[in-house]
Structure 1
Amino acid sequence: MNPWLTLVLVWAGAALAMAGLWAFSMKVRNVGYVDVGWAGLMALAALAVGAVGEGSPMSRGLVAMFGSVWGARLCLHLLHRVLNEEEDGRYRALRAAWDGSPAKFFVFFQAQAVVVALFCLPFIAAADNPVFHVGPLTVLAVLVWLGAMAGESLADRQLARFRADPANAGKTCRAGLWSWSRHPNYFFEWLHWFAYVLLAAGGGLFWLSLAGPVLMYAFLYRISGIPWTELQAERSRGEDYRRYQREVNAFFPWPPRKAATSTE
């Protein structure tokens, strides 16, 4: 299938799905479902692109596997949080700022459908690659994907264990990877997109694959990731989090500037 037609169809399907999810979220008063939907739609998009791509069967298969497993894991992780916790503080703040406007939230949900389409570009680039042989780039792509999946999963588990302990209420997690980066889950999510850059190497749409790491870095570091998360963390944890900001890198893992423990 023509890659641009694939992109339009992915966007259209995501827009319809997000419209339904918006209606459900307004009914249950929990906007956190938008993140669950985004991750799940990315998994479905990877499967769809792998099925209709015009590249080699192995290129398409790896895209389908990489994207669907990554998206499904993230979707289930976020769903567990949404089902077992109150609405994320970021969205409560947004609800207050918008006075709960359903129309504004509809636009917000539809914006996420556009983001699904944008992040589908690396899938399309890699699945369109007709050149495939098991060489250094392919091996590196697999290693990058495995490392990113392992790192993101570990960071999520470490944070979940910390938050599950009532004694840590109102405190900042400094356990494991969280002592080297304030957002190790975001870092490994960003790293994951380099797998598609490597898979797309040598293909005619290689340049599109660069949209993955470039856009993800922009969204996480400048737009909707770190800025929103840290603003909420400062509101809820105050000076404890500001001290954490002074001691630990925001994104790229690096030894802390000062010894820290997970009980601070």
Structure 2
Amino acid sequence: MNAAFAWGDFAANLEWAAATALMVMLGTFAVALNLDMHRVVDIAWGMAFAAVAAVTFGLSAGHGDPSRRLLVTVLTVAWGLRLAVHIARRGRGHGEDPRYEAMLAHARGNRNLYALRMIYLLQGALVWLVSLPVQAAQYTSRPLSALAWAGTAVWAVGLFFEAVGDAQLTRFKADPANRGRIMDQGLWRLTRHPNYFGDFCVWWGLFLIACDGGWQAAAVSVGSPLTMSGLLISGSGKRLLEKHMARRPGWDAYAARTSGFFPRPPRQNRT
């Protein structure tokens, strides 16, 4: 069967996806100015992916396999909205995120314009790049096969680690007795970053679904999981968080026995 890829329509979709991500980020920037708090952009991250997936679903009608279009859209929207709701609940009642305070402290000139460039527009560009598998998967006519379901399974593992890890950490922090302690229970015994590992799996899973559509979709979207992996492991994810956590009592022992990213049983202390 011909696994045709609608190159022209996909190229047009890239422009619509960029415009969609930009609109979400500019709208969020307006909200942030009203609240005088830029941490709301973290809520917009998941929402922007959901919006790009939904817009692509509408534009790709008649150009790609309906089952793949629906599958990748539902998975992306489910992931994005769950993340947005979780971050909104987590940040309720809190002030500005220390990460953004530190970033804006180095701003020259207008702080808000600096934030627009370095936070909102940058994140909008990343949404466009990372969402490439979601876009490409919807412009191939090849029917779903085993690889798509394998990708769905990887996505499901990722969502499990993200959602369960976030819920476990939320319950841990809600107990005043745990103030200042290191979370080392549940999934956090297997990896120091179950939520980041979950994100990693989500985007490699969506990439596999795109690969199921043919080499064209794989070729144009491989940068997505590679970029996300770099951000999570070496960029703004694991590296920055561990730099902050290293000041807490008990961190060195926890880090010595617990995997830095990929889950595994904790190492036993040697005596």
Aligned equivalent of 1:129, options 134, 140, 148: 140
Shift of 1:52: 1.7
Deviations 1:44-88 (A, max 9, x none): 111111222221111111111111111111111111112243333
Shift of 1:166: 1.2
Aligned equivalent of 2:223, options 211, 215, 232: 211
- Per the alignment, residue 58 of structure 2 pairs with 51
Q: Distance in 1 between matches of 2:183 and 2:201?
A: 22
Q: Distance in 1 between matches of 2:80 and 2:146?
A: 25
Shift of 1:246: 2.7
Deviations 1:212-237 (A, max 9, x none): 32111011111111122222323xx4
- Per the alignment, residue 197 of structure 2 pairs with 187
Q: Distance in 2 between matches of 1:151 and 1:15?
A: 29
Shift of 1:28: 2.2
Deviations 1:103-128 (A, max 9, x none): 22111211011011001211112112
Q: Is residue 57–residue 138 contact of structure 2 (8 Å, CA) maintained in 1? A: yes
For structure 2, list consecutive stretches of 5 or more residues without a partner in the other structure: 1-7
Aligned equivalent of 1:77, options 77, 86, 90: 86
Q: Is residue 181–residue 249 contact of structure 2 (8 Å, CA) maintained in 1? A: no
Partner SS for 2:92: helix
Q: Residue type of the partner of 1:189? A: D
Shift of 1:202: 4.1
Instruction: Give the direction of change, closer, same or farther, for the CA distance of 1:101–1:241 in structure 2 (3 Å limit).
Output: farther
Shift of 1:207: 1.5
Q: Is residue 90–residue 229 contact of structure 1 (8 Å, CA) maintained in 2? A: no
- Per the alignment, residue 262 of structure 1 pairs with none
What are the equivalent positions in structure 2 for 1:110-121 lying under 5 Å apart?
Answer: 110-121=121-132
Q: Distance in 1 between matches of 2:15 and 2:234?
A: 27
Partner SS for 1:205: helix
Q: Residue type of the partner of 2:53? A: A
What are the equivalent positions in structure 2 for 1:16-95 lying under 5 Å apart?
Answer: 16-53=23-60, 54-95=63-104
TM (normalized to structure 2)?
0.86
Q: How many residues align?
A: 256
Partner SS for 1:80: helix
Shift of 1:95: 3.5
Q: Distance in 2 between matches of 1:83 and 1:63?
A: 30
Q: Is residue 196–residue 209 contact of structure 1 (8 Å, CA) maintained in 2? A: no
Q: Is residue 60–residue 126 contact of structure 1 (8 Å, CA) maintained in 2? A: yes
TM (normalized to structure 1)?
0.89
Report % sequence identity: 31
